[in-house]
Structure 1
Amino acid sequence: MRVYLMLPLVALLSACSTPPSLQPPVPDIQDSWQAEADIGNASPGWLNTLQDPALEGLVEEAMNNNPGLAAASQSLVSARQQWLATGADAYPQLSLELGARRQENTDRSDSLSLNLSWTPDIWGEMDARTQQAAFTYAAAEAALEEQREELVADVSRTWFEIQEARLLLELYTRRHDTLEQSLDIIESGYRQGLNEALDLYLARNNVNSEAARLEQQRQTLSELQRDLEQTLGRYPAAELSSSGSLPLLDAEVPAGMPADVLRRRPDLQQAWLRLLARDAALAAAHRDRFPSLTLSAAEGGSSDALSDLLRTGNLAWSLGASLTQTLFDAGRKEAVQAQALADRAEQEQLWLEAVYAALTEVENALSERRSLHNRYQLYLKAEQNALNAEALAFEQYRNGLESFTTVLEAQRRSLDAQTNVINLRLQLLHNRIELYRALGGRFSADTTAEPEPDTP
């Protein structure tokens, strides 16, 4: 008998072991960026710095109509309801039961009972599960904020890609017209016996190749327009206006300190909140191994007639209490706790990986910015030299001083230089957007920096 009485005590003591406390690894963060950067604090509202009112209108449309963002908003609603549902488990449960029963050779019996039950959160298990749901909800808020920022960045990048495609289309159109004019001159000289047939064939090949490039560029522009229309929640009809520009922005982007990134970036906030949720899940799994106390109260009765149920003599009340402790479950609860511990350790490493990935993105964006500026200035000079060389080569060819192959090479270099200038202007804008995103900057000054769950 003493052995049987000791079994619940042994089970209780075995369940009350303390789970490992949360001690995530500390990332190695430097005091300053390795790349050259302005250490001023980044102010919210980077979309306005791009100086494009048309883009701001498209961003507002995307925020209102993008299906993916709308779906993420509903996911946030679901997470909040899960939080509310989990918190409700800590309160007493009241139910009303009305029943009717009839057996063979007996009269019908009706019953009515009002039941109240409550499981006090003695060990804090339900509180831990509520915390887990609260952190999950806060992580969903951070995920929604991250999706908003990424949507704005996608719209901005695609919009500027459309501008690049339009500028290239205009460049290829001008080049095609110029080559046709050159072809007319060469054909006229060929008919007069001044030019060779090889020059004529090469010139015709140039015109045909440029016409094919022009057609391909029109298709590229249409595809980019459809991509942006899809993001805006429109039908992809390639009818989006492409009037705009690729602005050159000289103002530096304040980078702040490396440690500021952990506070400003929504994706890092999300990873940290998920880690806190996993820690709360571990605490709940550990406390689930403790004994549970249930209190109950009921009042009701039964009668052969439904109208007699509410009479005082037919009603009776009852009170009860029970203490339950699992003695054997084949190690299920222990395995659940071990799984929760492994999940928390996994999320610790995922958070650490996200931190280093974020710092890498900033360092790469800062170093790329300087490189892009230097290359752009060099290609501006190369563009001017190539345009001068192209004009001079054709003039000397007409005067019989150069071969047509020299003209072709000059034309190729001129096209490459002009294309590189346009492409670098796009890359400079992409780099600025990426730098703002990597630093955790917000596209709007009205956007909150740190989402926090409200109390249900």
Structure 2
Amino acid sequence: MTKQPTLRATPLALALALALGLSGCVSLAPKYQRPASPVALAFDDALANPATPANPATSEAAAQLEWQRFFADARLRQLIDLALANNRDLRVAILNIEQARAQYQIRRADILPTVNAAVTGSRVPGSNDSITSTYTAGFGVSAFELDLFGRVRNLSEAALGQFLATEEARKSTQIGLIGSVANTYLALLADDELLVLIRQTLAAREESLKLIQLKFDNGVVSKVDLSQGQSLVDTARVALAQQQRQRAQDINALVLLVGQPLPASLAPANTLAQTELSALPAGLPSDLLAVRPDIRAAEQQLIGANASIGAARANFFPRIALTGSAGSASSELSGLFKGGSFGWTFAPSVVLPIFDVGRNSANLGSARAGRDIAVAQYERSIQVAFREVSDALAGQSTFAEQLRAQRAVAQAEAERFNLSDLRYRSGAASYLDLLDAQRSLFTAQQQAVQANLQRLQNQVTLYRVLGGGWSTAKR
């Protein structure tokens, strides 16, 4: 260690200041430009603005409408709250953010020099059997890269893109979780409504079977009518068992989403027929770029891949590293902190790649390919979003009419059944007519419940694909 008691730490401080000033002056990354949107400029007017919406439309965009206001059912809001607190997929997404944040902070720390305090001692053999002792104590900077060509800064930018993409992925997970809880809950309401319908149908068929049995015992009807009546009863029992199984499976799915057993203290549930959700405005496809977390995540990945090209290009240029220290040095441990023992060292190094068997070129080619992949993934995320919104808008404009028509069919089949039942009891119609009317009524009633479920689930899906579910109401 060279002793310089008069200059103190000035040369080392000036060297570090110059290094920090020059660091990151040049970036070799390509200038980032957002790719053109590969979808139409507007959604189909017939879908975006249905002539007869199922429910009054809100003027608020889905991304600005808090889920607490979109879902009016108190029981559903409680379940969503539990899911946000306990769902394991969401918990993993949050922990991924923490991991990505730490990785970004590691890369960011490389931009500035790391200063360490150290005390060292060495004893080496000299001439004539003598031993040379050296003791040092002070502060040092080890192999700090002078980032003249932006390699370190671009690596930091790439890590930042990964961190921001992970944060957006967490938002996507939350939006998807809220939509899944809502759709599963609606399916459970449909299960309950179908169970009531099936039990009513089973009771009616059992009463009808008693009448047929009585007529058979008195020789009024044949064995064929009795067998058909028994078949209808058994068919209803099969449907009941199937629906009970489906309800149990939907409860299991809801428990998995919520992350815990369903508590007994939940608010009373509405019926599916009592549940209504507002129609949502579609907006423009360009709006999705700002509100869809999956699109924003893909763009952050693209920005990070673009920065990686700059880091790969910088590998072709000289890499300058600075190592230095300042402190006290003495040949005796007792004189380490005495006056006049100050000293400093400054040791820059330059490495210029000459022959690397094409490694740097391959790294650059890989970075460019990664950027092209990120562009394709970004464009695909936009196309997927456009398709999802278009499908949900198509549902919004058609499910209401389907439900109205299906309910009309069920009403007509109910009238047909009542008339067939009267005609059969009076002997004016065969049991085959009544049997057909019973089957058609049961099918129409089931389809009406399913049509209402599809309509409501489509509204939840539209809310999700338009970016709804991330904003939360202010507490």
Instruction: Identify the TM-score tier after normalising by the shorter chain.
Output: 0.7 to 0.9
TM-score by length of 2: 0.83
1:162 is aligned to 2:188: yes
Which residue does the alignment assign to 2:404?
377
Matches of 1:192 and 1:207, distance apart in 2 = 21
- Secondary structure of residue in 2 paired with 1:322: strand
Question: Deviation at 1:152?
Answer: 0.3
* Counterparts in 2 of 1:307 and 1:158: CA distance versus 1, 3 Å: farther
Question: Deviation at 1:296?
Answer: 2.2
How do 1:430-441 and structure 2 match up within 5 A? 430-441=457-468
Which residue does the alignment assign to 1:61?
82
- 1:210-245 per-position Cα deviation (integer Å, ceiling 9, x unaligned): 112212211111111111111111148999998332
For 1:400, which of 400, 419, 427 is the aligned residue? 427
- 1:181-217 per-position Cα deviation (integer Å, ceiling 9, x unaligned): 1111111111111121111112112212211221221
Matches of 2:447 and 2:310, distance apart in 1 = 58
Matches of 1:52 and 1:250, distance apart in 2 = 10
- Secondary structure of residue in 1 paired with 2:271: coil
Which residue does the alignment assign to 2:381?
354
Which residue does the alignment assign to 1:176?
202
* Counterparts in 2 of 1:374 and 1:248: CA distance versus 1, 3 Å: farther
**What amino acid sits opposite 1:354 in the alignment?**
S
Which residue does the alignment assign to 1:222?
248
1:80 is aligned to 2:80: no
Question: Deviation at 1:319?
Answer: 1.7
Matches of 1:427 and 1:125, distance apart in 2 = 53
Which residue does the alignment assign to 1:32?
42
Question: Deviation at 1:258?
Answer: 2.0
- Secondary structure of residue in 2 paired with 1:296: strand
Matches of 1:18 and 1:57, distance apart in 2 = 52
Question: Deviation at 1:441?
Answer: 2.6
Which residue does the alignment assign to 1:191?
217
Gaps of 5+ in 2: 1-25, 51-58
* Counterparts in 2 of 1:405 and 1:241: CA distance versus 1, 3 Å: farther
Matches of 1:233 and 1:407, distance apart in 2 = 48
Matches of 2:27 and 2:304, distance apart in 1 = 21
* Counterparts in 2 of 1:320 and 1:84: CA distance versus 1, 3 Å: same
* Counterparts in 2 of 1:101 and 1:403: CA distance versus 1, 3 Å: farther
1:139 is aligned to 2:165: yes
Contact 2:68 2:473 in 1 (8 A): no
* Counterparts in 2 of 1:324 and 1:306: CA distance versus 1, 3 Å: same
Which residue does the alignment assign to 1:334?
361
TM-score by length of 1: 0.86
- Secondary structure of residue in 1 paired with 2:305: helix
**What amino acid sits opposite 1:70 in the alignment?**
R
Contact 1:109 1:302 in 2 (8 A): no
Contact 1:47 1:443 in 2 (8 A): no
Contact 1:46 1:436 in 2 (8 A): no
Matches of 1:375 and 1:89, distance apart in 2 = 61
Alignment RMSD: 2.9
Question: Deviation at 1:356?
Answer: 1.3
Which residue does the alignment assign to 1:453?
none
* Counterparts in 2 of 1:336 and 1:252: CA distance versus 1, 3 Å: same
Question: Deviation at 1:301?
Answer: 7.5
Gaps of 5+ in 1: 1-15, 448-456
- Secondary structure of residue in 2 paired with 1:36: helix
Matches of 1:25 and 1:31, distance apart in 2 = 15
How do 1:49-448 and structure 2 match up within 5 A? 49-99=70-120, 111-113=135-137, 114-117=139-142, 118-235=144-261, 243-246=269-272, 247=274, 249=276, 251-299=278-326, 307=334, 309-311=336-338, 316-442=343-469, 444-446=471-473
Matches of 2:91 and 2:212, distance apart in 1 = 60
* Counterparts in 2 of 1:445 and 1:234: CA distance versus 1, 3 Å: closer
Contact 2:171 2:470 in 1 (8 A): no
- 1:373-400 per-position Cα deviation (integer Å, ceiling 9, x unaligned): 1111111111111111122222222222
Q: How many residues align?
A: 432
Contact 1:101 1:110 in 2 (8 A): yes
- Secondary structure of residue in 1 paired with 2:443: helix
Contact 2:134 2:330 in 1 (8 A): yes
- 1:334-353 per-position Cα deviation (integer Å, ceiling 9, x unaligned): 11111000000111011111
**What amino acid sits opposite 1:438 in the alignment?**
V
- Secondary structure of residue in 2 paired with 1:119: strand
**What amino acid sits opposite 2:374 in the alignment?**
Q
- 1:266-302 per-position Cα deviation (integer Å, ceiling 9, x unaligned): 1111111111111011111112322122222224678
162-171 vs 204-213, which moves further: 204-213
Matches of 1:107 and 1:239, distance apart in 2 = 82
Matches of 1:279 and 1:37, distance apart in 2 = 36
- Secondary structure of residue in 1 paired with 2:199: helix
Contact 1:100 1:108 in 2 (8 A): no
47-56 vs 384-393, which moves further: 47-56
93-102 vs 361-370, which moves further: 93-102
- Secondary structure of residue in 2 paired with 1:227: helix
212-221 vs 94-103, which moves further: 94-103
Matches of 1:250 and 1:320, distance apart in 2 = 70
Contact 1:38 1:256 in 2 (8 A): no
207-216 vs 331-340, which moves further: 207-216
- 1:110-159 per-position Cα deviation (integer Å, ceiling 9, x unaligned): 74454223322211222212211222211111111111111000000000
Contact 2:73 2:269 in 1 (8 A): no
39-48 vs 390-399, which moves further: 39-48
